[in-house]
Amino acid sequence: MTPQFIAEVSSNHHQDLKRCFRFIDEAARIGCDGVKFQLFKVEELFSPEVFTAKPETAKRKQWELPVRFLPDLATRCREKGVQFSATPFYLKAVEELYPHVDFYKIASYELLWDDLLKACAQTGKPVVLSTGMADMDEINHAVEVVVSSFPASGALQTTDRQHLTLLHCISGYPAPPEECNLAAIQTLREKFMPVTGAPSAGSSEIRIGWSDHSVNPGVIHRAVHRWGAEMIEFHLDLDGEGEEFSTGHCWLPEGIQDVIAAVKSGFKADGSGIKVPAPSEQPDRDWRADPVDGLRPLRAKRAALKAGEK
């Protein structure tokens, strides 16, 4: 199955609605299936001790996405034919996002927060969960919380999307390719597919993908074509001017566009598996070596050439 590509805007938007629109437009242009923002309030993201020890953290107030942008962002995504998503970082954000998002994304740093996991799942909307820094016991617990929190109706009526997508992730910014451990995608698949939830949730199918911080085309190709990643999330910046670009984990449009095109075109090459001559081969079939004398073309073609046919 061709993977979904989700562009993560993170804090590169400059609190500028027009710039947000440019992210959506660019993501659609380069072949993405969805665009994801982050909804946080700095004072609800860190404990008081952090602001005391690291006063510069307060400057991240300028990175917040204004809640008033949400309806316009969702509308723009619909106009451009891509899904709209966001990561809630405080509980009320789940409610604020509900009328607008196609799915919730939960960040690796929030994987341990059961209340947030439950709040997202209880909406009945699909959930994407990154697993950076987590061990298998922590992931297993998070999966159980999400699956058991899905309502009996709602998410289970969604036929065109999965209820839960787990993203293998290395929360290094950037992540060295030698640490990406893409084989863990298969570990997650073997552990969680299929997953049977609580009686109220029924059976919940889970997809496995890759959240990229490597900014390495080979890593993404390997995640998809060797390990079967069904979703690729990546950080996007427009021009190298985003707040997070200097960290080194954000793609620019022209770089990721080629990767997306190559990955998606590769799936067109699978075919039916039936070994028959392809349409593009047909004109050359008569030009093969004849089994009698080993000369090209076949004798029937030679006769046609002798008769003046092309």
Say if residue 99 is in the same domain as residue 237: yes
Nearest Cα to Cα of residue 70 among 13, 31, 139, 6: 13
Say if residue 224 is in the same domain as residue 291: no
Phi and psi at 88, nearest 5°, equal -85, 135
* Helices 17-29 & 70-80 angle (0-180, nearest 10): 20
Low-confidence ranges of the chain (pLDDT < 70): 153-162, 194-204, 310
Residue 158 confidence (pLDDT): 43
Say if residue 41 is in the same domain as residue 143: yes
CATH of the domain at 33: 3.20.20.70
Residue 309 confidence (pLDDT): 73
Say if residue 157 is in the same domain as residue 199: yes
Say if residue 131 is in the same domain as residue 234: yes
Domain, as residue range, for 292:
276-310
Does the CA dihedral 280-286-292-295 come out positive or negative?
A: negative
Report the number of distinct structural domains present in the chain.
Answer: 2
Q: Are 204 and 150 a contacting pair, CB within 8 Å?
A: yes
Residue 204 confidence (pLDDT): 56
Q: Are 90 and 44 a contacting pair, CB within 8 Å?
A: yes
What gap in Å lies between CA 176 and CA 70, rounded to an integer? 34
Say if residue 173 is in the same domain as residue 283: no
Question: Could you tell me the pTM of the whole model?
Answer: 0.90
Nearest Cα to Cα of residue 220 among 232, 208, 238: 232
Say if residue 303 is in the same domain as residue 261: no
What gap in Å lies between CA 13 and CA 17, rounded to an integer? 8
Contacts for 190 with CB less than 8 Å, ≥ 6 apart: none
Residue 240 confidence (pLDDT): 97
Say if residue 175 is in the same domain as residue 288: no
Say if residue 307 is in the same domain as residue 197: no
Collapsing DSSP to helix, strand or coil, 203 comes out as strand
Say if residue 55 is in the same domain as residue 143: yes
Contacts for 242 with CB less than 8 Å, ≥ 6 apart: 10, 11, 12, 13, 14, 250
Say if residue 19 is in the same domain as residue 159: yes
Say if residue 42 is in the same domain as residue 68: yes
Collapsing DSSP to helix, strand or coil, 196 comes out as strand
What's at 42, amino acid-wise? V
Cβ neighbour number for residue 152 with a 10 Å cutoff: 13
Residue corresponding to tokens 């200097």? 246
